[in-house]
Amino acid sequence: MSTELPTSSYLDNLPVILQQDPVIAGFLLAFERLLSGRVGRFADRAYPDDPYPDQAGIEEQIEHLAWLFAPRPGATAGVRRTPPEFLPWLARWVGLSLQDDWDDETRRRFLRAALPAWKLRGTRRGIREAVERYLNQPNTVTVYEFEDEPHFFQVEVLVNGWDTSELSRRGRAIRTLVEGLRPAHTWFSIKYLFTTMQIVDNPTADSPGVLLGVNTLLGTRSAGASS
């Protein structure tokens, strides 16, 4: 059984006479772990006296510093991204306000789009895209303006499968979001469209599709209608 003590690779940078000193070897080993991290003697993470086997060294943290600037919504195996606790810090860099009830993925979507969204701030497109970004459902929001109502606009949101509590929660978040994006001189309302029955029409060259009153009937037949 070997009783040889591990030594630091930092010894290679010292004069030969100092490389033989066991005190210096142990002293540098601690610094190697703190500065270089899990490399060299600690590469296999099996060094018995390592008190923090999962803690990265300073050089490792600097090497992976770019991860802190990559929100990357949508978790992908093997792809590094900003830790959740860094998202508010990153949001302050781009002047983005994160709502308290937003989940982690919603925050990441808004962070990824923060800079392009600034160009659209206060516009119909900017408001529409922001609400769709929050819902993570494209093509579900329409913003209308009206000639007879100056400075007024209406946001229509297509609702798919929301229960009462979800409608209340998302409704508050959408109103807060639009309130923060609208121009100061405007006012707005939000209208929710609930899908009930839908008729799917896919006409082809051999079939005319759905023709109301010809091959499609809504309602009930009258008593005198032929069958």
What is the band of 213 on the pLDDT scale with cuts at 50, 70, 90?
low
Note whether residue 213 is domain-resident: no
Note whether residue 208 is domain-resident: no
Q: Are residues 112 and 14 in the same domain?
A: no
Rounded to whole angstroms, how far apart are CA atoms 213 and 203?
A: 16
Q: Are residues 70 and 45 in the same domain?
A: no
Note whether residue 186 is domain-resident: yes
Q: Are residues 48 and 155 in the same domain?
A: no
Q: pLDDT tens digit string along 140-192?
A: 999 999 999 999 999 999 988 788 888 899 999 999 999 999 999 999 999 99
Q: Are residues 97 and 169 in the same domain?
A: yes
How confident is the model at residue 143, as a pLDDT? 96
How confident is the model at residue 227, as a pLDDT? 46
Q: Are residues 163 and 124 in the same domain?
A: yes
Q: How many CB atoms lie within 10 A of CB 125?
A: 11
Q: pLDDT tens digit string along 81-134?
A: 888 898 999 999 888 989 988 999 999 999 999 999 999 999 999 999 999 999
- Structural domain count, the chain: 2
How confident is the model at residue 15, as a pLDDT? 86
Q: Are residues 39 and 108 in the same domain?
A: no
- Can you give the residue range of the structural domain that contains 153? 66-74+81-194
Note whether residue 163 is domain-resident: yes
Kindly report the pTM of this predicted structure: 0.65
Q: Are residues 108 and 165 in the same domain?
A: yes
